[in-house]
Amino acid sequence: MLPLAAVALAGCFGGDAPAASVQGITKIVFDTATSEKVTFAGATFGPGGAVGTYEKVRGTAYGQIDPNDPKNQMIADIGLAQKNTATGLVEYSLDFFILKPSDLSKGAHKVFYEAPNRGSKQYGGFAGMTGNANNPGAGGAADINNTANYPAFLLNKGYSLVWSGWDAEPMSSTATDLVKAVLPLAKNPDGSAITGPMYEYIVNDNATTKCAATY
């Protein structure tokens, strides 16, 4: 629900939304330095250019949740997460990256949402994009010139494309243009690190690679 909330707020507010003592997204900050009113160097999409140009919107959404809310108890160790001392709420932030028709009235009024893989966008290979897959449009019109697969598939259909961070792992990466999330650290009441067994199970979708289990 967080990505949808971020998109909804982005459409409702012309700038930052004021913080409030409620759960959910409390503030959105648009990154004007990396956003583009017209991206892909002004290339137009759709049959005969009917969809028109696309806009790139980048920024960060800030939110908070109540660790005592029963609905949040499914989150591991939420009661041990760092809290805002004034509100008692657990705070977080996430990046968002949106490609939308410059004129939404010409679009399909539909959203394609993709959860990033370790902060990276996976849509590029399916869409036949070239250049920087994590920052589509940065290479101008050349980013859509790949004629293989489905070039600019959803853009030609007029979809808005949305990515938002959910994983803290990319924070340790030096790669650029990753969609990241800043999540609170959980510690024991005495401030020590939480330790214990971890189980990871990986299944590969082919007949030759063995499954891997880590304990």
Measured in whole angstroms, the distance separating CA 54 from the mean position of its chain's CA atoms is 18
The whole-number pLDDT of residue 72 equals 94
- Structural domain including 123 reads 2-189
The answer to whether residue 200 is domain-embedded is no
What gap in Å lies between CA 175 and CA 100, rounded to an integer?
Answer: 25
Amino acid at 121: K
The whole-number pLDDT of residue 9 equals 42
The whole-number pLDDT of residue 10 equals 42
Total residue count of the chain as it appears in this document: 215
- Helix, strand, or coil here: 123? helix
99 Cβ contact partners less than 8 Å away, ≥ 6 residues apart: 39, 54, 55, 56, 57, 136, 137, 155, 160, 161
For 44-79, b/e burial (b = at least 16 CB within 10 A) is: bbbeeeebbbbbbbbbbbbbbbbbeeeeeeeeeebe
DSSP lists the bridge partners of residue 59 as 30, 96
The answer to whether residue 86 is domain-embedded is yes
The answer to whether residue 204 is domain-embedded is no
The answer to whether residue 9 is domain-embedded is yes
Per residue of the chain (215 residues), give pLDDT as tens.
Answer: 344 444 434 443 344 444 446 899 999 999 999 999 999 999 999 999 999 999 999 999 999 999 999 999 999 899 999 999 999 999 999 999 999 999 999 999 999 999 999 999 988 766 666 667 889 888 888 777 655 555 688 888 999 999 999 998 888 888 889 999 999 999 999 999 999 888 777 777 777 776 655 54
The answer to whether residue 130 is domain-embedded is yes
The answer to whether residue 110 is domain-embedded is yes
Query: How many domains is the chain built from?
Result: 1
The answer to whether residue 126 is domain-embedded is yes
The answer to whether residue 209 is domain-embedded is no
